[in-house]
Amino acid sequence: MPVYVKDSEKCVGCLICIFACGRAHQAVGLESSCIKVRSQGGISRGFSVWVCRGCEDPPCARACPEDALLVRKNGGVLLNESKCTGCGYCIKACVLDAIGWNSLTNKPVICIQCGECAKNCPYKVMEFKRK
Partner 1 sequence: MIKTDPLKRILYIDLTKKKFWVEERPDLFEKFLGGTGVAIALLQENCSSDTDPFSPENPIIFAVGPLNGLFPIASKTVAMFKSPHTGNLGESHAGGRSAIAIRMAGYGAIVIKGKSERPCYISIHGDKVFFRDATTLWGLEESAGRIIRTREPGAGLRTIMRIGPAGEKLVSFACVTLETYRHFGRLGLGTVFGSKNLKALLVSGKRDLSVTDFKEYKNLYSLLLRELSESEKMKKYHELGTPANVLPLSFSKGIPIKNLRTNELLGIENISGEVFAQKHLGRRVACCHCPVACIHLAALRKPYEDEPYFYRTVYLSYDYELIYALGSMLGITSSEDILKLIEVVEDMGLDAISTGVVLAWVTEAFEKGIISEKQTEGIIPEWGNLNAYVEIVRKIVYGESEFYKDIARGVDHASSKYGGKDFALTYGKNEMPGYHTGYGAHIGYLFGARHSHLDSAGYAIDKEAMTKHFTAEQIVEKILNEEQWRQILSSLVICFFGREIYTPEIVLKSLKLAGYELDESNLRKIAQDIYAEKYRFKIKSGFNFDSLNLPRRVFELPSSNGQINEDFARRCIEILKIKIRDLL
Binding site for partner 1 (CB under 8 A): 12-16, 19, 22-23, 26-32, 36-39, 42-44, 46, 103-104, 120, 122-123
C-beta of 75 vs 88, nearer to partner 1: 88
Smallest separation (angstroms) from partner 1 to the CB of 110 = 16
C-beta of 19 vs 58, nearer to partner 1: 19
Residues near 76 by Cβ (< 8 Å), separated by ≥ 6?
A: 2, 52, 54, 55, 58, 111, 112, 113
What span, in angstroms and rounded, lies between the C-alpha atoms of 41 and 26? 32
User: What is the CA angle 121-56-28, rounded to 5?
Assistant: 35
C-beta of 30 vs 78, nearer to partner 1: 30
Smallest separation (angstroms) from partner 1 to the CB of 16 = 5
Torsion of CA 120, 121, 122, 124, to 10 degrees: -130
Smallest separation (angstroms) from partner 1 to the CB of 42 = 7
